[in-house]
A and B are shown apart, each in its own frame.
Chain A
Amino acid sequence: MEANVRKMTALYMFVSGIAILLMMVLGLLMLLAQGKMIPLGQDTFYEMMTAHGTFMVGAAAFAASAVMWYFLRQYVRLSFPIFVTHFVLFLTGAVMTAISIFVFRFAGAWTFLYPLPAMSAGMWGKTGASLYLIGMLLIGVSFLLLYLDTSRAIIREYGSLGHGLGWPQILGKVKGYGPPPTVVASTMVSIVNLVSLTVGASVLVMSLINLFQPSIEMDPLLAKNLIYAFGHIFANSVIYMGVIVVYEILPKYTNRPWKSYKIFLIAWNMSTLFTIIVYPHHLLMDFVMPKWMLIIGQVFSYLNGLPVLVVTAFGALMIVYRSGIEWDMASSFIFLSMFGWVAGVIPAIADATIVINHVMHNTKWVPGHFHMYMGVGAVSMLFGFMYYFIRGNERKIGYADMVSFWVYTVFFLSLCGTFLLSGKVSAPRRWAVHFPEWVPYDRMGAVFAVVIIAAVTVFLYRFFVSVIIVQAKQNIEVGPRA
């Protein structure tokens, strides 16, 4: 069984890793096109943009869900068949979306904003749009299954999801620490994603109905609310799953405990609530929205920064400080990921301010902040996990890896810098063709992207080679049961 779990987890990480690498290449091509260094048809650009957004978010979430599953199963009884089903369903959905994009030319972006899928101005047809929407639906169902299982298992072990979030400890009914951090984080993610996936599935189904029966319309503002609620929560859940690696690994490396004390539990409860309700910050420029929702969008986005800024990142700094920690690839990536998370939150909070959003919404500032948060934050957690997964094979991990780590760090930050700078000079996001004013940033970004891709190739190569060796050794670690 343990061997199967390891095999399956390795497969998850490998598939996602390859997808992320390939999508980085598409990212590079987009930058080269915007920088006028290669001729890329505008239709091809928007297809690549759709693929890049869909598969980056998809693969990162997919890998992060495996990380969560891998660690959560130390504490609760999870179903392995569901883990396998999630894998198969997800891949089926992903293949369908890939076909819709590259064969049927669907380019409605990963946000499939209603009614764009049905109104392509001639670029793609019903087949492309429906394949994409159905593919996304399958992906959604695959995640839904997984979170239903994690919720079930947590409820079974701890009594309720509220217990998983440490309510008895917060309310003072029970003395001492709450459930292990991994359980708390998994509970939060299960809750927010059961919400996001239900919302996402309903808007996908409505879009599909509208596609085949155009007379049945949806309210476009309602659709926008549903889509951004889904997209925001789901994309954010990646880092809340990824942070489980941090909770699991740093205590081992520093030989210090990371416990669910009261403030920690309060922070995670705040994150649960705020992650669900801050999505209106994507609709700040929809002036017809109720004013109170837009103000909530700003105020709660600020507050949503508190748990990470004050509790999670601070905890990581404290546990490392004067700990005698050994800096290998895993611990380095983990530490980097906490930095990326905090750093990415800053421009995000700036942009959630209504007056700033008024002149920065849908500029490149937005990809600027989320590439930092995703690329330096979430994806670093995944690489950190991969290196942790193959430890015991350190002899092979050497110079090339550490150099690649620093290259990745420095150049990914620089890439985000070029995006943020483009945003500062008002370059819109999602424009296939750029004005001359914005071209220098695209060219710089393209150069950085090449180097990033080289570094990621090293990480994946190491993972692939090592997994095969470690697998052969059947070197298995079984975690404690709570």
Chain B
Amino acid sequence: MYQQAAWVISVVFILFVIFVFLYVVAHSGQRAEYEPIQKKGYRIRNVWFLVVIAAMGLATFYTLRDLPFERPAHAADPTVVQVEARQFGFVLSRNEFRVGEPIAFQVTSVDVNHGVGIYDENMELLAQTQAMPKYTNTMYYTFEKPGTYQVLCLEYCGIGHHVMTATITVVPSQEGEGK
């Protein structure tokens, strides 16, 4: 979902920028006095500045409310899973979960830096954190659909980086137990 948003926003803005640059090229031929252009330009720039600042402010306000490293409210008592990354594989203390079960992945590494990325069946990246030697990053995630998920290494760790995968199975939530 965020991927889609990033893509659409980027494409729209880049097209806008292309338009502006081409517009200026198209109007570059006939020479006019600079002073009036500067005067008008600075006025436009002030408006542009306010627009950019406002857009950034709004984006900051909305996106900082939903930080992935904070424990979500519904995950007060999560299932704790140890994830240990090493060249070149993952060891998960558990790899079968239920839909709706809040999980806290406690991620670390025994050798170099790795990454833990959780992919769904459509190979869409859902969540990630870094796996670091000597540190434990806690990543909260709650699966919404049953299925087979994959873990891919998301930090370059050497020659076997691309073979570093693991699987996670998510089964439907049981009656009364699912949240």
| A interface with B by C-beta (< 8 Å) | 42-43, 46, 107-109, 111, 113, 115-116, 119-123, 219-221, 224, 256, 283, 285-288, 291, 294-295, 298-299, 302-303, 305-306, 309-310, 314, 317-318, 320-325, 327, 335, 338-339, 342-343, 346-347, 350-351, 353-356, 358-363, 365, 420-421, 423-426, 428, 430-433, 435, 437
Contacts and interface: CB of A to CB of B under 8 A. Distances in A.
A42 B60 contact: no
Contact of B132 (A220, A343, A363): A220
Nearest to A431: B162
A111 B87 CA distance: 18
Contacts of B130: 283, 285-287
A288 B117 contact: no
Given A42-B159, A323-B31, A358-B2, A317 B20 contact: yes
Interface in B51-91: 52-53, 56, 59-60, 63-64, 66-69, 87-88
A324 B135 CA distance: 60
B21 A432 contact: no
A327 B117 CA distance: 48
Nearest to A303: B56
A359 B113 contact: no
Contact of B10 (A299, A318, A338, A420): A420
For the residues of A in contact with B, the DSSP-based class is helix
B28 A323 contact: yes
Contacts of B142: none
Nearest to A302: B56
B158 A123 contact: yes
Contact of B87 (A121, A295, A421, A425): A121
A340 to B, nearest CB: 10
A353 B4 contact: no
Most chain A CB within 10 A, of B10, B59, B124, B139, is at: B10
A116 B155 CA distance: 11
13 contacts: A46-B156, A46-B159, A107-B159, A111-B156, A286-B129, A322-B28, A323-B31, A324-B30, A353-B59, A354-B64, A360-B6, A424-B3, A432-B161
Nearest to B13: A346
B29 interface: yes
Interface of B: 2-7, 9-10, 13-14, 17-18, 20-21, 24-25, 27-32, 34, 37-38, 41, 45, 48-49, 52-53, 56, 59-60, 63-64, 66-69, 87-88, 111-113, 115, 117, 119, 123-130, 132-139, 152-163
B121 to A, nearest CB: 11
Contacts of A224: 113, 132
B39 to A, nearest CB: 10
Contacts of B88: 121
Given A113-B113, A285-B129, A324-B31, A121 B123 contact: no
Given A321-B37, A435-B123, A310 B32 contact: no
B7 A220 contact: no
Given A115-B112, A116-B158, A355-B67, A350 B10 contact: yes
A108 B17 CA distance: 37
A318 to B, nearest CB: 4
Contact of A363 (B27, B30, B125): B125
A109 B159 CA distance: 11
Nearest to B20: A317
A444 B123 CA distance: 20
A355 B60 CA distance: 11
A376 to B, nearest CB: 11
A295 B67 CA distance: 10
A194 to B, nearest CB: 28
A432 B129 contact: no
Contacts of B38: 318
Nearest to A433: B162
Nearest to A46: B159
A432 B162 CA distance: 6
Contacts of A314: 41, 45, 48
A220 B135 contact: yes
